[in-house]
């Protein structure tokens, strides 16, 4: 039997891309999966594709609103049981990425979506994990959270650096509590976020970069490790992408 059988997994940004690919892999391992995101239509379509019956819960949630997050987590727990693994995958970027183009409102939008939302989800699931002395939190950051560059933009990079710090600090604080935290830093991935690139990405380039299934496989690898094993950070990138 898989180590993930009957485990409850909550995945934000689960309606498409990495989140949907991860949900598919977890379900194959016998887990119970909750997917949430801002777009209810995408979540409904994802649920149809996944065909998991009672092992799948889906519902919309704006993770930048703490009350919404608390309510969503309560619904998941009621439907699927205590949350064993949280995958903080929700995030976004915008086309106006330079400091000259950024406005305070767009800055706030990026920080709330890429950093605040992850914290709100952690805050909602952590108490029950601490009670059980067991839990895994996987934060999908970005290589932009390791190597700031104009491609991702200043606001996106700042938020992802913040997410990295959040994960590292939490892991250090709770290393004796049975709570494991992993920050995963993907390079370029062929997901809907590419639609907001200032310069369109060609079909040829999309074939060279990571696919959602590649990152989902990394998520599954971390999740399948026994409780004695922790992977604090994992970088995964296209072979052709520089990492210097």
DSSP the chain: --TTTT-EEEEETTTSHHHHHHHHHHHHTT-EEEEEES-HHHHHHHHHHH--GGGEEEEE--TTSHHHHHHHHHHHHHHH-S--EEEE------S--STTT--HHHHHHHHIIIIIHHHHHHHHHHHHHHHHT-EEEEEE--GGGTS--TTT-HHHHHHHHHHHHHHHHHHHHTTTTTEEEEEEEE-SB-SGGGGG-SSPPPHHHHHHSB-HHHHHHHHHHHHHS-TT----EEEE--TTS---
Question: Which domains, ranges and CATH numbers included, belong to the chain?
Answer: 8-236 (3.40.50.720)
In terms of DSSP bridges, do strands 135-140 and 85-88 run parallel, antiparallel, or are they unpaired? parallel
Tokens of 73: 């987590």
Separation of alpha carbons 90 and 165, rounded Å: 17
- Summarised one tens digit per residue, pLDDT across range 45-94 is 999 999 999 999 999 999 999 999 999 999 999 999 999 999 999 999 99
- Summarised one tens digit per residue, pLDDT across range 175-212 is 999 999 999 999 999 998 898 888 888 999 999 999 99
Q: How far is CA 86 from the centre of its chain?
A: 8
The residues annotated with a catalytic role in the active site are 156
Instruction: State if pTM tops 0.75.
Output: yes
- Summarised one tens digit per residue, pLDDT across range 140-177 is 999 999 999 999 999 999 999 999 999 999 999 999 99
Residues 6+ apart with CB under 8 A from 243: 143, 147, 187, 235, 237
What pLDDT was estimated at residue 1?
80
- Summarised one tens digit per residue, pLDDT across range 87-99 is 999 999 999 999 9
- Helix 66-80 and helix 117-132: axis angle, to 10°? 40
């Amino acid at each position: 039997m898989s180590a993930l059988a009957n485990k409850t997994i909550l995945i934000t940004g689960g309606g498409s891309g990495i989140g949907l690919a991860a949900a598919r892999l977890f379900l194959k391992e016998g887990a119970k999966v909750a997917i949430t995101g801002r777009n209810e239509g995408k979540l409904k379509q994802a649920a149809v594709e996944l065909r998991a019956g009672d092992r799948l819960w889906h519902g919309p949630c704006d993770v930048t609103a703490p009350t919404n997050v608390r309510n969503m987590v309560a619904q998941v727990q009621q439907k699927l049981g205590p949350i064993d693994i949280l995958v903080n995958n929700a995030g976004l970027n915008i086309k106006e990425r330079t400091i000259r183009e950024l406005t305070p409102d767009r800055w706030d939008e990026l920080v709330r979506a890429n950093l605040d939302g992850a914290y709100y989800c952690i805050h909602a699931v952590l108490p029950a994990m601490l009670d059980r002395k067991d839990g895994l939190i996987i934060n999908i950051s970005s290589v932009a959270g390791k190597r700031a560059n104009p491609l991702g933009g200043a606001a996106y990079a700042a938020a992802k650096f913040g997410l990295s710090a959040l994960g590292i600090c939490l892991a250090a604080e709770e290393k004796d509590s049975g709570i494991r935290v992993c920050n995963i830093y993907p390079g370029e991935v062929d997901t809907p976020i590419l639609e907001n690139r200032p310069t369109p990405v060609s079909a040829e380039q999309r074939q060279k970069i990571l696919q959602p299934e590649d990152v989902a496989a990394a998520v599954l690898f971390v999740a399948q490790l026994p409780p004695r094993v922790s992977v604090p950070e994992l970088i995964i990138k296209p072979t052709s992408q520089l990492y210097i």
